[in-house]
């Protein structure tokens, strides 16, 4: 029983760790896709939870029934033809660029707050990622089992500290009246939920292949989706209370944690870096599994090949990559979600 529960929690941690990464842990993603839409952003975050649970469960069931090993196999079945080929290419590019975003974020984080050369941050991220990736699925599950609980503790600590010191002016009516620069929150929610679930398929499909227990993977995914929703809600809450000041910062959560002293800031920096690390490993793991299956390039060679491609891309810059890449990939992801839903209801009912 303990082994089963442990496995479910590990799957939930991998799910959360795959999505969180540099953008969410820093507050940059939540700011862009939710906070700037005001109070309705909370509805968007809850809607994302349902997207993760329903589409994630479909992906797992399809993967188990058709014995799939990588996201490439999933896309081929769900979206055959030209559109599927485009989705496959863009997914691979997005995951590699996602790895590059994290390298850029690691360099920016250590440069901005410790004044180290950005290359030190990039080198450390590459080195530790390779060490974990060489342990394959086991390494992926091990690091997330440690990093994700640490993230939850730190974010909840900052959230409750903020509530405690600001309780006199926080109310629902206050949140509803905070000015927000953007509308159409529902489209932003679909974009965000779409690209996250397509990225997760790169991890969920290989996990389905190796664990071969549909029930445990689905329960783990549901648990992960709920945990991620709680985290995102807490982050969005404190970001919304700091509008519009947070728009001037690359890492909004660090600006907010500044009032709680240097120790909290340093702990948050460490957690952001570790979350970048967990997503870096997940992104590269997803692409290596596809290269191994599609082009018969060995898993180990694929790791080094992707790293060599990601390093030059990382020089575009952390925020630039998030603003350009995420919405574009989100559109492709929405189409994929629709195709996945149609395929599932045609073949499983």
Q: What is the pLDDT of residues 133-167, one digit of tens each?
A: 998 888 888 888 888 898 889 889 888 888 888 77
Domain holding 49, by residue range, is 2-344
Asked whether residue 280 is assigned to any structural domain, the reply reads yes
* Number of domains making up the chain: 1
User: Is residue 313 pLDDT above 70, yes or no?
Assistant: yes
Asked whether residue 229 is assigned to any structural domain, the reply reads yes
- Contact predicate 82/263, CB 8 Å: no
- Contact predicate 202/281, CB 8 Å: no
- Contact predicate 35/236, CB 8 Å: yes
- CATH code at 20? 1.10.4160.10
pLDDT in tens, 196-244: 888 888 889 888 888 878 899 999 999 999 999 999 999 999 999 888 8
pLDDT in tens, 170-184: 777 777 788 877 888
Asked whether residue 269 is assigned to any structural domain, the reply reads yes
pLDDT confidence of residue 46: 95
pLDDT confidence of residue 86: 81
Residue 272 pLDDT level (bands cut at 50, 70, 90): confident
Asked whether residue 349 is assigned to any structural domain, the reply reads no
Asked whether residue 95 is assigned to any structural domain, the reply reads yes
């Amino acid at each position: 029983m303990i082994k089963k529960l442990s496995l479910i929690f590990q799957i939930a941690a991998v799910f959360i760790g795959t999505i969180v990464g540099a953008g969410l842990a820093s507050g940059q993603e939540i700011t862009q896709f939710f906070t700037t839409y005001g109070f309705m952003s909370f509805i968007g975050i809850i809607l994302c939870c349902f997207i993760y649970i329903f589409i994630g469960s479909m992906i797992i069931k399809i993967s188990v029934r058709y014995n799939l090993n990588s996201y490439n196999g999933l896309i081929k079945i769900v979206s055959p033809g030209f559109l599927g080929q485009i989705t496959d290419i863009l997914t691979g590019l997005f995951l590699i660029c996602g790895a590059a975003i994290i390298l850029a974020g690691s360099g920016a984080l250590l440069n901005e707050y410790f004044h180290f050369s950005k290359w030190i941050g990039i080198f450390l991220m590459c080195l530790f990622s390779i060490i974990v990736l060489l342990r394959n699925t086991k390494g992926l599950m091990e690091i997330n089992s440690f990093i994700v609980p640490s993230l939850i503790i730190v974010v909840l600590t900052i959230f409750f500290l903020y509530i405690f010191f600001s309780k006199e002016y926080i109310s629902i009516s206050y949140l509803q009246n905070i000015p927000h620069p953007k509308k159409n929150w529902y489209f932003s929610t679909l974009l965000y939920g779409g690209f996250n679930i397509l990225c997760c398929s790169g991890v969920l499909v290989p996990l389905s292949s190796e664990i071969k227990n549909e029930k445990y993977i689905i329960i783990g995914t549901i648990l992960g989706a709920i945990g991620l929703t709680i985290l995102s809600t807490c982050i969005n809450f404190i970001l919304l209370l700091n509008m519009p000041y947070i728009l001037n910062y690359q890492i909004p959560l660090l600006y907010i944690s500044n009032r709680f002293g240097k120790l909290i800031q340093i702990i948050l920096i460490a957690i952001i870096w570790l979350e970048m690390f967990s997503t870096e490993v997940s992104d590269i793991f997803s692409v290596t599994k596809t290269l191994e299956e599609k082009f018969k390039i060995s898993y180990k060679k694929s790791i080094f090949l992707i790293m060599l491609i990601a390093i030059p891309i990382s020089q575009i810059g952390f925020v630039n990559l998030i603003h350009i890449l995420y919405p574009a990939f989100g559109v492709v992801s929405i189409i994929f979600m629709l195709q996945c839903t149609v395929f599932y209801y045609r073949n499983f009912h």
